[in-house]
Amino acid sequence: MKMGFISDTHGGYDDLVKALHLLEECDQICHIGDVLYHGPRNEIPETYHPKKIIEVLKEREDIVYVRGNCDADVDEMVLDQDLSSKSRVVSFDDFKFFLVHGYEETEDERIEEAKRLGCDVVVSGHTHVKVLEEKDGIVVLNPGSTTIPKDGTKSIALYENGQIKLMDLESQAGIAGIKL
């Protein structure tokens, strides 16, 4: 079984399509927030086309979302998807993943909440910087950004058979991996 992670698409249509293509064999995809709007601190992405993203995402039933700081009620309305939760726990393949965009709490607070909830992995976005490491007994994952990376590489993450790997969106090559 496979599960994909994307975050901070910020209205970048071509990048989202590439990410979804790369994750097409996934049974579940988790979007970690900031779906449509580019945000007041970001330049408008070259591939910015939120209306086209709406058409792609509104029919998808395999994507679970958490609300990011750039997501709004109107996004939920036009997508016809549930963007109301700032965090979620997703059970998948005998592991529990704590999903949260990550703009209201520290990494240490997210790790403590994941432990409290009995989760194995905490997945956050917001920083647009990829992270995959084990910290205090919890795997910490940030898939980076598909559209506006702050570390130079557009990326996603993939879980398969007890392993998580970060992947470069353009080359489709693995960047880093960790076994759960």
Instruction: Give dist(CA 129, CA 66) in Å, integer.
Output: 18
We report the CATH number of the domain holding residue 126 as: 3.60.21.10
Beta strands 121-123 and 131-135 are unpaired
Which residue type occupies 175?
I
For residues 42 and 38, what is the distance between their CA atoms, to the nearest angstrom?
6
Q: For 131-145, what is each residue's pLDDT tens digit?
A: 999 999 999 999 999
Which residues constitute the domain of residue 86?
2-179
- The residues near 136 (Cβ < 8 Å, ≥ 6 apart) are 111, 115
From first to last of the 180 residues of the chain, give the pLDDT tens digit. 999 999 999 999 999 999 999 999 999 999 999 999 998 888 899 999 999 999 999 989 999 999 999 999 999 999 999 999 999 999 999 999 999 999 999 999 999 999 999 999 999 999 999 999 999 999 999 999 999 999 999 999 999 999 999 999 999 999 999 999
Name residue, tokens 């109107």.
Answer: 74
Task: Report the pLDDT value the prediction gives residue 178, as an integer from 0 to 100.
Answer: 97
Phi, psi at 62, each rounded to 5°: -95, 5
pTM of the model: 0.96
Instruction: Please provide the DSSP assignment of 108-174 as one string.
Output: HHHHHHHHHTT-SEEE--SS---EEEEETTEEEEE---SSS-SSS--EEEEEETTEEEEEETTT--E
Q: Could you give the number of structural domains in the chain?
A: 1
CA angle 70–73–77, rounded 5-degree value = 120
Please, which residues bridge with residue 159 across strands? 3, 164
State the pLDDT at residue 42: 87
